[in-house]
Structure 1
Amino acid sequence: MATFTEHLRALGVDGLAALLDRRRDLAAPPPASVRALAARAGTRASLDRALARIDTGTLAGVEAVVALPPPVRPADVSHAVGAHADVWLGVAEDWGLVWQDDDGLHAAPGLSDLLGPHPAGLGPPLAETLARRSTEALATLAAEVGCTPTELAERLADTATVEGLLAEAPIGARAVLDALTWGPPVGRTPRPGTPGAGAVGWLLRTGLLAVGDPQHVVLPAEVALALRGGRTRREPPTPPAPTVVEVDSRTVDADAAGRALETVRLVGELLELWGRAPAAVLRSGGLGARELKRVAAALEVDAGTAALLVEVAGAARLVAEDGEESPSFCPTTVADDWAGDDAAHRWVELVRAWLTAERAPWLVGSRDEAGSLRGALDSAHRRPWVPRLRAAVLGALADAGGRVDAADLHTVLAWRTPRSAPTEHAVQAVLDEAAVLGVTGAGALGGPARQLLAGWVPPDGTEPTFTPTAVLGAAAALSQTLPAPVDEVLLGGDLTGVVPGRPSDALEALLTDVAQVESRGAGLTVRFTEESLRGALDRRSAPEILDALASHARGEVPQPLRYLVTDAARRHGQVRVGSGAAYLRGDPAALAGIEQTPALRALGLRVLAPGVLISPTEPAALLEALRAAGLPAAAEDAAGTVLHARPTRHRVRHTPMPVPDPEVARRRLLRVAGDLVADTGGPAAAPVPPADGTPEPSEALAVLRAAVGAGTEVWLEVASPGGTTRRRVRPLLVEGGRVRVLDQQRAAELTVAVHRIAGAQPVDGPAGVRVDRSADGPVEDGEAWTDH
């Protein structure tokens, strides 16, 4: 039989590169040889990661290869699972979980341990259970069955033999076997004299049951298979058929486009908000609940949507901590470049950041295991599995081609990845976030998002990547869906304005500056008030505001609006704030009694002279407080000139989120595969075992795992900087690329890396194995043995 290492070597450059592409953990860091790759592929962590990515049908095929007695042929697996399994076996082989040679199908080393002691609900093999019996008991049982002791295991695995024995069984014997046939195969031994004790005793004597321990009996695997008719599954694995509601693609894209524009607008408002007044960072890290409520109120959204927008902005590197002594969240320099791009590309950047972010915004506001409140932008709450969850949910939605509810999607995902199926709550959360961001529309996947997902390589131990074509294609698809921007506003005599469509960036910036937004939808409706003009009058004069409105108005600016702007400009600055500590200067009539106003008492205002007051408050805070009280205050310089100031914009230097190219990653994997093949002399080269053993690492691990199960000792040889050391130890655990052993002579528990094991041999047992480490490179990790 070929070994697993020989199978990997025979894959050649392209085959190894494909395996490394599916199981990225095997390539980081690059293995020194194919033998080292085989050892890494057989570790529990790597196998568990691979099993988490295969579907129910493939998992059923893998279980059958592990559970069925050898030799296992593809036809045997198809019969065992009740369906044609060639495709599933091909997938399992692509993932390095099984391989095939002239002797049949074989499971990857370590796979049987990972699937547990009872794969497919089957117990230990007959060879193991019969070996526990004495020679006399085996001879008696063989005589009863009508064969020699060496033929006993083969006969008891025969369906006709089992049925023949059961035909003479006492009452209750078949019921006991029926209870154990489909697993679990372990049952409690009844006390003597109780119902069932006689039936269990008879089954033990005939070999149809075996003693597991003093308290339990176990059904041998071959007997269970004979009773099942050779099946490992009661029902054939069948993919679920979710209920799909068809939605017109134009409706989907229109709804998604509207939500995408709203997302871009809200993120832009968040940047403006934090640019003027950065949000404080909690002492424990992240954004506080009070600040999140402030964001939600300013953006006029609920707390969940506010948390999502904040998280997406952080993932896109549009906001970050400023690194000050009292840190705050504020926009980055990347935000300025982002704001200058068109709406479609801005949306793509946000969605790309959301897809790859390792945080779950839906958990913001909940409590962790320690009872602490989870905050937004808190780096302590990373979830590396979240990008894969988003990829799985949106991939299933894309395959459905319509609207599917969370319950049906959860069923689909449970079939696709049964060992890592998400909760229905998490699936619903991803759908909700996708709807807010415009990834979906009317419950179905939008066209632009479908373009982006087509070029997305979700992470598997490496950085997620997008093809540049997918990024550009998604932006182009959204641009085609969005209505053309409108650069005109219909100004009414009632001091309102209506933009009949999607306003251009310049028009929206103007209206947001000088008016109050009343409604958004198919168009934009605004109202002009004296309050809405006050901020604009800080930055431009009345003629400048009227000229800007006239350049976008359809027709002339209505007379009532011109009067409003002129009157607001005339009253603007009747009360002036200047620097000193801070002072107020203005018309004595306008300032009369202002220091007695209850809302302004906290400012500490004192009258110095008619029309002049002073306050210990900073000018900016004083100006804001006066305007909040309804006074048309303005700032002035030392010469008494009204300042047309630009708002303060806080920024922190940052780099944009990179767009890794999957082609670069593919070429790197090809180089790693080429190095492996070159190191071993090509795909057809056969390994040369050392004089005292075999180069197969999985065999050494098999010796260690067997010793763990039996609680016996082994001679363990480990490569170290000074050569090879040999100790007599009792293995305790083989897991995660490490072996934990007990050295009784030194009274210490030790841990050794699997890739440093050079040999393993049972004490007072058959010859063990020795692994050739000559091709694994020099030892770099210092001491090979580590004391706990």
Structure 2
Amino acid sequence: MSTHARPLADRLAATSDAQLEELLRLRAVPADVDWDDFFDAAEALLESGSIERALVALTRTEAQLLRAAAQGKADAAAVSALASLALVDGEGKVQPPVAALVMAQPDVPPVVGADAASASATSAARAAERAFTTIGSLADLVLAARTTPLVLVSTGALSATEKRRFTDIGDLNDLRELAEIAGLARAHDRELRVTDLADDWLASSFPERWSHTVAAFRHALPRGVRAAAGWVPISEWEGAHPWDASWPARAVRWRELATRLGLMAADGTEPEWTAVLRNGGEVDTSSLESLLPTEVDRLFLQNDLTAIAPGPLQPALDTRLRSMTEHESAVQASSYRFTADSISRALADGETAHSIVQFLSEVSLTGLPQPLEYLVSQTAARHGLVRVRPDETDGTVVSSTDLHLLDAIEVDRNLRPMGLIRSGAHLVTRVGAETVAWALSDARYPATLVDRDGVMVATSRRRAAPSAPVEPVSYGPLIARLRAQQGPDSDAAWLDRELEAAVRARALVLVEVAMPDGTSREMTLEASGIGGGRLRGRDRAADVERTLPVRSIRSVRVLES
């Protein structure tokens, strides 16, 4: 048992619940840990594994302070900031178990202190273009996940199928990470789903999208690279957590994300808009916007069923246009293609032939081409040919005026999992109506979901993730359990604990015993048992078995294990 656990246990017992919770959180203690009292807590926090985990989380400044304190070269007042991590005692001195592990860590290199170099006009322009491309690709990912959540494998990574699906929008891992940092998507039930923030973000302009994303990026930065409300120069990020072996690779990832967002130029210099953010100021996009093309609100509709935007299309228009087209290119002059499937998808989402024609007429610089108008009207006419409605038993009824179409659906191998069977002039199944409607649409049948009264219902595959993060772990029950065992006689409790540990280890102990005449006597015993308020052990000097009342023992010290 560590001789340093007792004073730490006393300090833990004397702290407030809020301070204790902060310590447990900083030391990453599991909320369900099986500690019974503050002695358990102190011993656990002084274990080498627990100390090493705390050292890994230290920033460069904290590591420098702790190393100097372990060498006796630091001011106690400066080191006292580490008391919240239980790495120093009440006087700001480093705990001996901590000091041994600190001195085994590599030296902490000093901070160079050089400020970030300003980017040239060319580098800043390229950084702005990269930021614009990244936000556009991020929008592509969010739009796709809003329609159909992205599949994750058991490790939490995106599946190979999803990676192949998004080969044209850049590094999918970077985009997925940015989406989660910005709160636009979150892993849930082995799917990457959008959150409630996604709709507002998609409807925003590029400056608003970028501002939201970089503000979230700044907030998410690790402690070691934060500086007040901003961050230290990116060139210093590599050494931010000097005793964390995994940090260099993580620092590279953060640098890559910063570059993707245009916060750092490819040559490592810093654009004008980054300096404001780094120094903790409000997001200012004016200098960034001056290097980007103006968003447009009109497009060219062509006879080949394509739409060409002569520049970056306003996000709200782009989002709606994508709901009824296949997006073919993500360059500044975006291209969209209308197909029967894309029009059917829009109709299933709640659009009508009239609303589609009206929208396209308003944004077109070339009018509405006849082939496109014909495609919309024909698809809309065919769209309601197969009607899918729930029945009274939560099953589904599929009906159509085209009996040959029902026959085709009944024998379609791709639809066998739906369990569709003939019932008079209809097909019935126990599967839910919305699931059946999407299965029929995927199989290219003109299916429409209606309610029990025959009124069309817009369908959506969107499965949103919770918009708020999971509540932080509560240490309330653990703290309450520790407080419940906090008695007035901590000396007696600690003595019992020392004796029990000595008996378990069959240790040789030096005990100080109070004699009836008021004097004290020291005995060297090989502890063998404790119970009924008595300690049993062999007296090495007299070579006899002794039994001592625990209440008469004033102190105990382990001589050997």
Alignment partners' CA distance in 1, 2:56 and 2:372: 66
Equivalent residue for 1:129? none
2:279 is aligned, of 438, 454, 458, to 454
- Is 1:259–1:435's contact at 8 Å kept on the other side of the alignment? no
- Is 1:517–1:525's contact at 8 Å kept on the other side of the alignment? yes
Equivalent residue for 1:372? none
Alignment partners' CA distance in 2, 1:238 and 1:576: 69
Equivalent residue for 2:207? 344
The CA deviation string for residues 452-506 of structure 1, in whole angstroms up to 9 with x for no partner, is: 2221xxxxxxxxxxxxxx2x32455545554322111111111111112211122
- Is 1:576–1:586's contact at 8 Å kept on the other side of the alignment? no
Alignment partners' CA distance in 2, 1:46 and 1:584: 63
- Is 2:135–2:210's contact at 8 Å kept on the other side of the alignment? yes
Check 1:535–1:94 CA distance in 2 against 1; reply closer, same or farther (3 A cut).
farther
1:554-569 superposed matches below 5 A: 554-569=365-380
* Amino acid in the other structure paired with 1:585: S
Check 1:113–1:506 CA distance in 2 against 1; reply closer, same or farther (3 A cut).
closer
- Is 1:271–1:330's contact at 8 Å kept on the other side of the alignment? yes
Q: Secondary structure at the match of 2:293?
A: coil
Identity of aligned residues (%): 24
Check 1:294–1:485 CA distance in 2 against 1; reply closer, same or farther (3 A cut).
same
1:99-248 superposed matches below 5 A: 109-110=93-94, 248=122
* Amino acid in the other structure paired with 1:53: R
- Is 1:264–1:346's contact at 8 Å kept on the other side of the alignment? no
Equivalent residue for 1:379? none
Equivalent residue for 1:625? 439
1:253 is aligned, of 113, 127, 146, to 127
Check 1:306–1:258 CA distance in 2 against 1; reply closer, same or farther (3 A cut).
same
Matched, 1:442 2:316: no
Check 1:60–1:47 CA distance in 2 against 1; reply closer, same or farther (3 A cut).
closer
- Is 1:54–1:417's contact at 8 Å kept on the other side of the alignment? no
Q: Secondary structure at the match of 2:440?
A: helix
- Is 2:123–2:267's contact at 8 Å kept on the other side of the alignment? no
Q: TM-score, normalised to structure 1's length?
A: 0.44
Q: Secondary structure at the match of 1:509?
A: helix
Alignment partners' CA distance in 2, 1:118 and 1:628: 61
The CA deviation string for residues 115-154 of structure 1, in whole angstroms up to 9 with x for no partner, is: 769989xxxxxxxxxxxxxxxxxxxxxxxxxxxxxxxxxx
Residue 297 of structure 1: CA displacement?
5.5
- Is 1:489–1:498's contact at 8 Å kept on the other side of the alignment? yes
* Amino acid in the other structure paired with 2:336: V
Check 1:237–1:318 CA distance in 2 against 1; reply closer, same or farther (3 A cut).
closer
Matched, 1:473 2:310: no
* Amino acid in the other structure paired with 2:297: D
The CA deviation string for residues 296-345 of structure 1, in whole angstroms up to 9 with x for no partner, is: 4665579x9545544544444445688xxx89875444445545554434
Q: Secondary structure at the match of 1:523?
A: coil
Q: Structure 1: state its 5+ residue gaps.
A: 1-23, 29-43, 68-88, 99-107, 121-231, 359-385, 400-408, 456-469, 658-718, 731-740, 749-784
The CA deviation string for residues 724-765 of structure 1, in whole angstroms up to 9 with x for no partner, is: 8898x99xxxxxxxxxx99642989xxxxxxxxxxxxxxxxx
Equivalent residue for 1:269? 143
Equivalent residue for 1:508? 318
* Amino acid in the other structure paired with 1:250: A
* Amino acid in the other structure paired with 2:146: E
Equivalent residue for 1:397? 234
Equivalent residue for 2:428? 614
Alignment partners' CA distance in 1, 2:452 and 2:57: 71
Alignment partners' CA distance in 2, 1:238 and 1:281: 41
- Is 2:65–2:78's contact at 8 Å kept on the other side of the alignment? no
- Is 1:257–1:438's contact at 8 Å kept on the other side of the alignment? yes
Equivalent residue for 1:433? 257
1:485 is aligned, of 288, 295, 299, to 295
Check 1:52–1:110 CA distance in 2 against 1; reply closer, same or farther (3 A cut).
same
The CA deviation string for residues 169-228 of structure 1, in whole angstroms up to 9 with x for no partner, is: xxxxxxxxxxxxxxxxxxxxxxxxxxxxxxxxxxxxxxxxxxxxxxxxxxxxxxxxxxxx
Matched, 1:595 2:420: no
Matched, 1:528 2:308: no
Equivalent residue for 2:518? none
- Is 2:60–2:241's contact at 8 Å kept on the other side of the alignment? yes
1:281-320 superposed matches below 5 A: 287=156, 289=157, 292-293=159-160, 296=163, 299-300=166-167, 305-319=171-185
Check 1:417–1:239 CA distance in 2 against 1; reply closer, same or farther (3 A cut).
farther
Residue 514 of structure 1: CA displacement?
1.2
1:679-698 superposed matches below 5 A: none
Alignment partners' CA distance in 2, 1:651 and 1:117: 46
1:647-662 superposed matches below 5 A: 647=460, 650-651=463-464, 654=467
Alignment partners' CA distance in 1, 2:293 and 2:342: 28
Alignment partners' CA distance in 2, 1:605 and 1:49: 59
* Amino acid in the other structure paired with 2:210: W
Residue 558 of structure 1: CA displacement?
1.5
Check 1:390–1:439 CA distance in 2 against 1; reply closer, same or farther (3 A cut).
farther
Alignment partners' CA distance in 2, 1:550 and 1:389: 51
- Is 1:257–1:481's contact at 8 Å kept on the other side of the alignment? no
Check 1:356–1:609 CA distance in 2 against 1; reply closer, same or farther (3 A cut).
same
Equivalent residue for 1:710? none
Q: Structure 2: state its 5+ residue gaps.
A: 1-21, 27-50, 81-91, 471-485, 499-506, 512-524, 528-555
Check 1:546–1:518 CA distance in 2 against 1; reply closer, same or farther (3 A cut).
same
Alignment partners' CA distance in 2, 1:327 and 1:318: 16
Alignment partners' CA distance in 1, 2:372 and 2:125: 38
Alignment partners' CA distance in 1, 2:102 and 2:131: 52
Residue 563 of structure 1: CA displacement?
1.7
Check 1:306–1:111 CA distance in 2 against 1; reply closer, same or farther (3 A cut).
same
- Is 2:298–2:363's contact at 8 Å kept on the other side of the alignment? yes
Check 1:583–1:54 CA distance in 2 against 1; reply closer, same or farther (3 A cut).
closer
Residue 575 of structure 1: CA displacement?
2.6
- Is 2:386–2:447's contact at 8 Å kept on the other side of the alignment? yes
- Is 1:575–1:585's contact at 8 Å kept on the other side of the alignment? yes
Equivalent residue for 2:45? none
